Amino acid sequence: MNKAVVVRDLTKKFGTFTAVNKLNFEVDKGEVFGFLGANGAGKTTAIKILCGLSKPSSGQVTVAGFDAYKQSELIKKNIGYMSQRFSLYDDLTIAENIRFYGGIYGLKRVEIQSKIKEYVKKLNLEEFEGRKVIDLPLGIKQKLAFSVANVHNPAIIFLDEPTSGVDPITRRQFWDMIYLEAAHGKTIFVTTHYMDEAEYCDRITIMVDGKIEALDSPSKLKKEFNTQNISEIFLKLSRKQNTSQN
């Protein structure tokens, strides 16, 4: 099986409001997939469904080979999730956080112990060992959160604005980490408000008003919309939508 995510005619309604309208896309294994859209375009709703947190109203959704209707518990076991707003417990130390998340996903004590050593070494956390997460610089915190989301070696990692507010150098180091995982066959599903980061993805979708309005590799999309960067595509799409509404 080479598809990490398969979505066919996915629709989610809240009462009469259609938050997500007939989405169709597939994500390959090992792909870095960018999920873009304005606030309120339906991104969050769609991600919740893909993470097994919410059930679709209609359509077919398979994540890591599991069905979103019947196997949401299995989906949860096979994905990792990291968001800017919440990921690590500020008042726990680095090791305690890793132990906690490792425990949730049923890792053995020995495995957790070796993960702690691995992460401390990989992220150069020696000087911070034993300190609470709240005392870490934001960039390091975000890198650690990414590693923790990866602690149970999931097939897919969902990253919700992982680099928000991070300094430009750390932001790029973060993307190096993403590439490294993708090279190991991990599928990365990422949202961001930095348009240059959109270009780092293998393929991106842009959602407008619950629908996918663009889906392709960044370079092909730029040709298709005849623009210099992704940001302009974004503006074009939203203006088009505004004029069609008025």
Name the residues that contact other proteins, by CB under 8 A. Answer: 37-41, 84, 137-139, 161, 164-170, 172, 175, 193-196, 198-200, 218-219, 229-231, 234-235, 238
Q: Give one word for 153, left, alpha or beta, with left for phi > 0 and alpha for psi -120 to 50.
A: left
CA 27-33-35 angle, 5° bins = 110
Q: How far is the CB of 194 from other proteins (least distance, A)?
A: 7
Would you say 49 or 166 has its CB closer to other proteins? 166
Instruction: Kindly list the strands in the beta sheet with 17-28, ordered across the sheet, starting from the edge strand earlier in the chain.
Output: 17-28, 3-14, 58-63, 66-67
Burial bucket for residue 16 (CB in 10 Å: 0-12, 13-18, 19+): exposed
DSSP output for 45-99:
HHHHHHTTSS--SEEEEEETTEETTT-HHHHHHTEEEEESSSSS-TTSBHHHHHH
Contacts of 199 (CB under 8 A, 6+ apart): 218, 229, 230
Would you say 65 or 139 has its CB closer to other proteins? 139
Q: How far is the CB of 134 from other proteins (least distance, A)?
A: 11
Would you say 92 or 195 has its CB closer to other proteins? 195
Q: How far is the CB of 107 from other proteins (least distance, A)?
A: 31
Q: Which long-range contacts (CB under 8 A, 24 or more apart) does 124-130 make?
A: 125/94, 128/94, 129/93, 129/94, 129/95, 130/93, 130/94, 130/95
Q: How far is the CB of 168 from other proteins (least distance, A)?
A: 5
Q: How far is the CB of 180 from other proteins (least distance, A)?
A: 12
Would you say 95 or 230 has its CB closer to other proteins? 230
Would you say 18 or 170 has its CB closer to other proteins? 170
Contacts of 204 (CB under 8 A, 6+ apart): 33, 34, 35, 36, 198, 214, 215, 216, 217, 218, 221, 230
Would you say 104 or 180 has its CB closer to other proteins? 180
Task: Retrieve residue 120's tokens.
Answer: 């401390």
Q: How far is the CB of 109 from other proteins (least distance, A)?
A: 33
Would you say 60 or 227 has its CB closer to other proteins? 227
Q: How far is the CB of 199 from other proteins (least distance, A)?
A: 4
